[in-house]
Chain A
Amino acid sequence: MTQAAILEIEALTKSFGGVRAIQDLSFSLYPHAVHSVIGPNGAGKTTLFNLITGVFSPTSGRVLLQGQDLASKTVHQRAALGVSRTFQNLQLCLNMTAIENVMLGCHLHVNHRFLPALFRLPRIASQERSCRERAAELMEYVGLGNYISADTTSLPYGAMKRLEIARSLAAEPKLLLLDEPAAGLNGAETAELEALIQKLSAAGVTVVLVEHDMKLVMNVSQHIIVLNYGRKLAEGSAREVRENPEVIAAYLGEQAA
């Protein structure tokens, strides 16, 4: 608790017309841990991710990354500050090959200016080569070694999800937001995902998970936040949350409490 928080959410509220998707939400996330945000459908989890990454602007409240208020920062500016994410409804560029999608993730680490690219200065060519190699490595790392030369459209669903993770890793983020990465995966694939998340955490990436797969969440998280109807219902370690009567009631209905 003596280290500074990597992400702070202060009194965050987001309304869409009459609907309050997020209400007065506050929490802090500390680095080098795996955090999970859980809650019933419609609790506001993806909205929270959209607020952190800048897709939505809050109605009120603040999002702070390493102490810096993100209020005026656009999505791509926040990416440059070290935030990366995957999407619940996959957002892959189907007009590019699988490896090109991962190479896209390298964007912030390469010279992406117009004139050097136009005249193909020598550094651009060598940079393209190393970017491609790194993308291939990352695809191997997430288990997509067989798809390195594939078109994105030929990938099975589970592989597409992993491709998105590879793309988000290419950016070498400080804060990685994974939106329902286990959705649509079978038992074996989920175990691989669990191992991957732990590997990332050990390497120093702060991972935030939105998930419905409770087994995965409990196995992998050091810190869990429970949302319900846009408000924070509970927060704590895996055991604390598991045994919290309000959480149980929200998930299983009043009788189980």
Chain B
Amino acid sequence: MSDGNDSLGAPAALTGTSARLAESSSLLARLLSARQGGFALLLATVLLAPLFMDGLYHYDLAVLIGINAIIVIGLNLLVGYAGQISLGHAGFFGLGAYTSAILTARYDWPGLLALAASAAFVGLVAFIVAKPILRLRGYYLAMATLGLGMIIYLVLTSESWLTGGPDGMDVPPLVVFGRPVMGEQTWYWIVAMILLLTYWLALNLIDSPVGRALRAVHGSEIAAATAGVDATGYKVLIFVVSSALAAAMGGLYAFYSGFITPSSAGFLHSIHFVVMVVFGGMASIVGSLVGAIVLTLLPQMLTVFADYDALVYGLILMLVMIFMPKGLVPTLASWLRRSR
């Protein structure tokens, strides 16, 4: 592809270009890169965090953070990179949770099979609605995803014979090879491994023609199509992938917590996910991690404020969005770049 005699007869000023490109693979650049340095940092954090944990409550928080982080990474691919909007993502989470729960609790399916089936089922639902929904833009797309999420929530609340209704349902523990998977610590390691995997896969995707195609769809869909990008195909793809991921995490959460309610599919839960994406930084996987960490811990810390928690949370959202609209991580990154 880059021989000196390309068909356009371009003068081979390759020394200049190669030199300019070479600097990007220096050791320092690799350390600071999200893919390699960031992964190493995440791995270290995951391995060392238990040393600082003081009691099962901390493990529980870590599991919740991890689950949220995985979902938010998936959502960020859809919202931050591909430029779409989803105000109903919790619907997929809840649908996955309930499908896993119902298959194991009522129909005695093996846990892992139920989990796989929920992800596949929700992926299928997402696929069916994807084409008509993703034709929409902006507020219309936001409204359609909101509507979809709400419909899922309302079905889960109303069909009590199946779902236990608004009071929720119990979920039996996940059984793998005859042994139940229980305990905050066990789940910590499971979720940590999935998080590391998701982080790595997401960064692979971004640093590839697929990632570029997604960002191009966001930047200018017509330019992307003109360059040969099947914009609709990629939008549907990322929509289905992020929904199936959310569903799988919903199922895992159901097994972990042993109890689920329809509010897990509700509007407020969807908003939590979106806020984590925007707060941490759109089109920033590292930002998704940060957003998940901060915004999972924040309500916990705010319970100290008792009745004031909603007020404080709302004010924090407003302040961060006013002063750091690009999100925490991209804003900090650009401050760092400017001061260099």
Contact = CB atoms under 8 A, between A and B. Distances in A.
Contacts of A148: 17, 20-21
Contacts of B230: 74, 76
A114 B228 contact: no
A118 B205 contact: yes
A94 B219 contact: yes
B41 to A, nearest CB: 19
| Interface footprint category on B | 35 or more
Given A91-B222, A108-B228, 4 more contacts: A108-B227, A132-B21, A134-B6, A171-B228
A103 interface: yes
Contacts of A172: 7
B208 A96 contact: no
Contact of B207 (A80, A84, A128, A200): A128
Given A136-B20, A145-B13, A104 B227 contact: yes
Contacts of B201: 118-119
B190 interface: no
Interface string B1-43: 1100011111111101110110000000000000000000000
Contact of A118 (B14, B204, B212, B215): B204
B218 A95 contact: yes
A129 to B, nearest CB: 8
Contact of A117 (B16, B208, B283): B208
A245 B261 CA distance: 79
A138 B11 CA distance: 10
B212 A199 contact: no
B213 A107 contact: yes
B237 interface: yes
A94 B219 CA distance: 6
Contact of A75 (B212, B215, B226): B226
B2 A133 contact: yes
B258 interface: no
Nearest to B283: A95
A199 B228 contact: no
Contacts of B204: 117-120, 124
B162 interface: no
Nearest to B204: A120
A134 B16 contact: no
B294 interface: no
Given A120-B204, A169-B8, A93 B223 contact: yes
B314 interface: no
B209 A110 contact: yes
B24 to A, nearest CB: 8
B17 A140 contact: yes
B229 interface: yes
A242 interface: no
27 contacts: A75-B226, A79-B228, A80-B228, A91-B220, A91-B226, A93-B219, A95-B215, A96-B215, A96-B216, A103-B212, A105-B227, A110-B209, A117-B205, A117-B210, A118-B204, A133-B21, A134-B1, A134-B2, A137-B12, A137-B13, A137-B14, A167-B227, A170-B227, A171-B227, A172-B7, A203-B8, A203-B9
B310 interface: no
Contacts of B208: 117, 120, 124, 128
A76 B9 CA distance: 27
Interface in A117-171: 117-120, 124, 127-128, 130-134, 136-138, 140-141, 145, 148-149, 167-171
B77 to A, nearest CB: 11
Contacts of A112: 209-210, 213, 229
B316 interface: no
Contact of A133 (B17, B215, B231): B17
A130 B17 CA distance: 12
Contacts of B215: 93, 95-96, 100
Contacts of B2: 130, 133-134, 137
B166 interface: no
Interface in B185-223: 201, 204-205, 207-213, 215-216, 218-220, 222-223
Given A76-B229, A136-B17, A55 B222 contact: yes
Contact of A100 (B7, B13, B212, B237): B212
A76 B225 contact: yes
A232 interface: no
A79 B210 CA distance: 17
Contacts of B216: 93, 96, 104
Contacts of A127: 209
Contacts of A87: 222-223
B3 to A, nearest CB: 10
B302 interface: no
B141 interface: no
